[in-house]
């Protein structure tokens, strides 16, 4: 035994190492299972999966890519949060500051935006693939519902983030998108049957969304909190359920 091997053995057999890693790295079936089931991140997978469920031709990798996009937006988003203030007077100036003065600011903003768009596309493709393989059928009916909720949350995350640059593009896109709310039957001040409820421009569904009768500084703060705290947390909760369910029900194919 060489010195290196002895050193390695001492490290691997030390109480510290053994407290962290509970299985060896020899390529044995037992270790292959332990590598997954003994790891908090990897145990989102079952230890064994069906062969065809691994093929790219089958999965398109789209669910994973959607999740990856979510992670990218979180990492880049936290970076952006350090330099951005959700106040009407500062927001736009902070965008310029971020783009021109911050190291990697432009790159982080680009990645945040493109990953958000890519997430929308990927979640649609994921849904399309799941439909095409009939993977919403028993036992995964409930997981499909959770997936639809996640689709809506993806769109809401993207939509609330759209306002934050506080430029012409963002406020008018959000204005157009939110104007639908004032046409809500009963609850919008331009919707059908509004006269039976008594809503008005500063007290209806859109005002609730905007935090006032018109889009303004209050809307910016509201959307910022929804975008950075509320929807990410809600999405995480539903992701946990989504992953837990798919792990229980198997990655592909009819019931196990």
Partner 1 sequence: MAEAKVATPATTARRAKAKAAGPSDDKIYTWPHLVRVEFICTLLVIAGMLVWSLLVDAPLEEPAAPTRTPNPSKAPWYFLGLQEILVYFDPWHAGVVLPSLIIVGLMVLPFVDTNLKGNGYFTFTERKYEITTFFVGFHIMWIVLIVVGTFLRGPGWNWFWPWEPWDTHKVVAMNNVDLPYLLGFRDYWAQAAVGLVMILGYFVVGTVAMYAWIVRLKGKDWMQRWGAARFGIVSFLFLNMIAVIIKMGLRLGMNVKYILVTPWINV
Is-contact 26 219, C-beta < 8 A?
A: no
Query: Which is closer to partner 1, CB of 127 or CB of 228?
Result: 127
* CA triple 27-31-35, angle to 5 deg: 115
Stretch touching partner 1 by CB under 8 A, among 4-12, 107-115, 225-233, 235-243: 107-115
CB of 155 to partner 1, least distance (A): 6
**CA separation, residue 17 to residues 23, 48, 57, 133, 156 (Å):** 10, 27, 40, 44, 44
Which residue shows structure tokens 């060489």?
2
CB of 161 to partner 1, least distance (A): 9
Give the footprint of partner 1 on residues 127-156 (CB under 8 A).
127-128, 131-138, 140-141, 144-145, 148, 151-152, 155
Give the footprint of partner 1 on residues 52-91 (CB under 8 A).
52, 54, 56, 58, 61, 64-65, 68, 72, 88
Assess whether the previous peptide bond of 205 is cis (omega < 30° from 0).
Answer: no
The correct pick among 105, 226, 227, 252 for binding partner 1 (CB under 8 A) is 252
Give the footprint of partner 1 on residues 197-236 (CB under 8 A).
214-216
Q: 69-107 in b/e burial notation, b at 16+ Cβ within 10 A?
A: bbebbbebbebbeebbebeeeebeebbeebeeebeebee
Query: Which is closer to partner 1, CB of 14 or CB of 179?
Result: 179
CB of 10 to partner 1, least distance (A): 26
The yes or no reply on residue 50 touching partner 1 (CB under 8 A) is: yes
C-alpha span between 107 and 98 (Å, rounded)? 10
The correct pick among 110, 202, 203, 244 for binding partner 1 (CB under 8 A) is 110
Query: Which is closer to partner 1, CB of 190 or CB of 232?
Result: 190
Give the footprint of partner 1 on residues 10-39 (CB under 8 A).
29, 32-33, 35-36
Give the footprint of partner 1 on residues 154-173 (CB under 8 A).
155, 158-159, 162, 165-173
If we measure between CA atoms, which residue out of 93, 89, 123, 132 comes closest to residue 220?
89
C-alpha dihedral, 152 to 156 to 162 to 165, nearest 10°: -150
CB of 14 to partner 1, least distance (A): 24
The yes or no reply on residue 248 touching partner 1 (CB under 8 A) is: no
């Amino acid at each position: 035994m060489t010195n290196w091997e002895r050193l390695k053995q001492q490290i691997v057999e030390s109480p510290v190492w053994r407290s962290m890693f509970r299985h060896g790295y020899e390529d044995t079936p037992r270790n292959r299972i332990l590598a997954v089931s003994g790891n908090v991140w990897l145990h989102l997978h079952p230890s064994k999966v069906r062969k065809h469920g691994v093929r790219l031709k089958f999965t398109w990798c789209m669910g994973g890519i959607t999740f990856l996009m979510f992670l990218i937006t979180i990492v880049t988003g936290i970076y952006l949060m350090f330099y951005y203030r959700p106040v009407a007077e500062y927001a736009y100036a902070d965008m310029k500051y971020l783009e021109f003065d911050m190291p990697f600011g432009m790159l982080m903003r680009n990645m945040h935006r493109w990953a958000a768009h890519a997430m929308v596309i990927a979640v649609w493709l994921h849904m399309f693939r799941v439909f095409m393989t009939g993977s919403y059928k028993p036992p995964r009916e409930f997981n499909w519902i959770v997936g639809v909720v996640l689709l809506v949350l993806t769109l809401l995350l993207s939509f609330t983030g759209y306002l934050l640059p506080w430029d012409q593009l963002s406020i008018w896109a959000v204005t157009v998108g939110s104007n639908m709310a004032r046409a809500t039957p009963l609850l919008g001040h331009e919707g059908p049957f509004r006269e039976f409820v008594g809503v008005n421009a500063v007290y209806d569904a859109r005002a609730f969304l905007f935090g006032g009768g018109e889009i303004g500084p209050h809307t910016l703060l509201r959307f910022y909190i929804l975008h950075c705290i509320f929807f990410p947390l809600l999405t995480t909760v539903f992701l946990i359920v989504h992953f837990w369910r798919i792990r229980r029900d198997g990655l592909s194919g009819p019931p196990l």
